[in-house]
């Protein structure tokens, strides 16, 4: 197993993790392989480390910075910048420099959309500089403990104290940044159990984190409370709160429109229904993967670091977990 050691105290263990998971009496192996001997996380980190850092203007005082992990949004006020997410730890100095180049203001507040390393990797850097870190309350719990996501080959944590959120909320909260009002909302477990969607008004921008990857199959972190049902529920809520003029910042990929978000939501719903049928007929997870329930979506959504077979495994696992919970 190869280990990527975070110099600021958190660990990301990357390797071909082989885990025997027993769900409803059916054992299967969850290796997190991305198809070429790499784990999903290995493939993702290669992309995060090599992609150029790009700055995109979303509005007069709002930018998206992409390439160094999850997408980052920067909102400028008269004397400060608020960041949404902090990328990977190895490129945080580069991120901070790019943010300052765009905004000419120091970062004073940071919002985390969820707990994963490619969105919280810069927390130690910013927290050590006295930046206020804001997140849904479950993010602090996740970062304070070891995260283990065998389906994609990830173990991470525990984060040091300075990397943890110092301001948390349960369902929603409001933050003002210059002339913009940021409404932070959690619609329940979705990608993880601590997702935050940020609506920025009057700019009409929505930052949705890894509930939406444009246009890639997403990670559903069942180990951290995520579920396919919760993903679709949150997407329905986002669609209800946005319009065709809304600029939607996904967790990964380019800025999207509401129509593109709708297309993504409909893809998830169709895949869920197909795998539900397989679960109801008693298929094993291997049989579900062999049935290729995503095959007509793969050309559009399968080019990211989550291959179709791993996505099917995550949806299958989520549906089995939900069925067992509801018994």
Q: Show me where the domains of the chain are located.
A: 2-325
Per-residue burial over 156-172, b if 16 or more Cβ lie within 10 Å, else e, is bbbbbebbbbeebbeee
Q: Taking 50 as the threshold, does the pLDDT of residue 22 lie above it?
A: no
Percent of the chain at pLDDT exceeding 70 = 88
Burial environment of residue 206 by CB neighbours within 10 A (0 to 12, 13 to 18, 19 or more): buried
Cis peptide before 215 (omega within 30 of 0): yes
Q: Is the dihedral of CA 233, 239, 240, 241 positive or negative?
A: positive
Dihedrals phi, psi of 140, to nearest 5 degrees: -60, -40
* pTM of this structure: 0.88
Q: Taking 50 as the threshold, does the pLDDT of residue 296 lie above it?
A: yes
Q: Which of 82, 97, 175 shows the shortest CA–CA distance to 131?
A: 82
Please report, for residues 35, 181, 234, the alpha-carbon distance to residue 12 in angstroms, rounded to integers and kept in the order given: 21, 35, 28
Mean predicted lDDT score pLDDT of the chain: 89
Per-residue burial over 10-30, b if 16 or more Cβ lie within 10 Å, else e, is bbbbbbebeeebebeeeebeb
DSSP one-letter code for 47:
H
Mean pLDDT in residue range 212-226: 95
Cis peptide before 202 (omega within 30 of 0): yes
Write out pLDDT tens, residues 198-213: 999 999 999 999 999 9
Please report, for residues 31, 59, 150, 179, the alpha-carbon distance to residue 20 in angstroms, rounded to integers and kept in the order given: 9, 48, 9, 51
The CATH-assigned architecture of domain 2-325 is 4-Layer Sandwich (3.60)
Mean pLDDT in residue range 113-126: 97
């Amino acid at each position: 197993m190869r280990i990527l050691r975070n110099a600021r105290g958190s660990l990301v263990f990357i390797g071909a993790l082989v885990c025997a998971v027993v769900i409803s009496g059916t054992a299967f192996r969850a290796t997190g392989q991305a198809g070429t001997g790499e784990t999903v996380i290995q493939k993702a980190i290669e992309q995060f480390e090599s992609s150029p850092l790009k700055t995109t203007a979303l509005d007069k005082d709002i930018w998206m910075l992409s390439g160094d992990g999850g997408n980052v949004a920067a909102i400028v006020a008269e004397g400060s910048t608020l960041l949404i997410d902090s990328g990977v730890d190895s490129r945080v100095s580069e991120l901070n420099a790019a943010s300052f180049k765009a905004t000419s203001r120091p970062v004073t507040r940071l919002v985390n959309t969820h707990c994963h390393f490619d969105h919280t990797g810069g927390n130690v850097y910013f927290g050590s500089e006295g930046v206020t870190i804001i997140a849904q309350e479950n993010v602090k719990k996740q970062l304070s403990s070891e995260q283990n996501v065998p389906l994609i080959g990830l173990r991470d944590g525990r984060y040091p104290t300075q990397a943890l959120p110092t301001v948390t909320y349960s369902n929603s909260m409001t933050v003002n940044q210059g002339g913009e009002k940021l409404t932070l909302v959690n619609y329940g477990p979705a990608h993880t159990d601590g997702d935050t969607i940020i609506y920025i008004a009057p700019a009409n921008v929505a930052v949705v984190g890894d509930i939406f990857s444009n246009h890639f199959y997403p990670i559903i972190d069942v180990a951290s409370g995520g579920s396919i049902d919760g993903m679709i529920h949150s997407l329905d809520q986002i669609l209800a709160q946005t319009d065709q003029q809304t600029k939607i910042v996904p967790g990964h990929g380019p800025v999207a429109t509401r129509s593109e978000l709708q297309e993504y939501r409909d893809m998830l719903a169709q895949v869920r229904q197909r795998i539900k049928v397989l679960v109801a007929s008693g298929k094993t997870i291997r049989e579900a993967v062999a049935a290729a329930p995503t095959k007509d979506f793969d050309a559009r959504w399968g080019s990211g670091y989550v291959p179709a077979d791993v996505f099917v495994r995550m949806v299958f696992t989520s549906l089995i977990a939900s069925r067992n919970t509801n018994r």
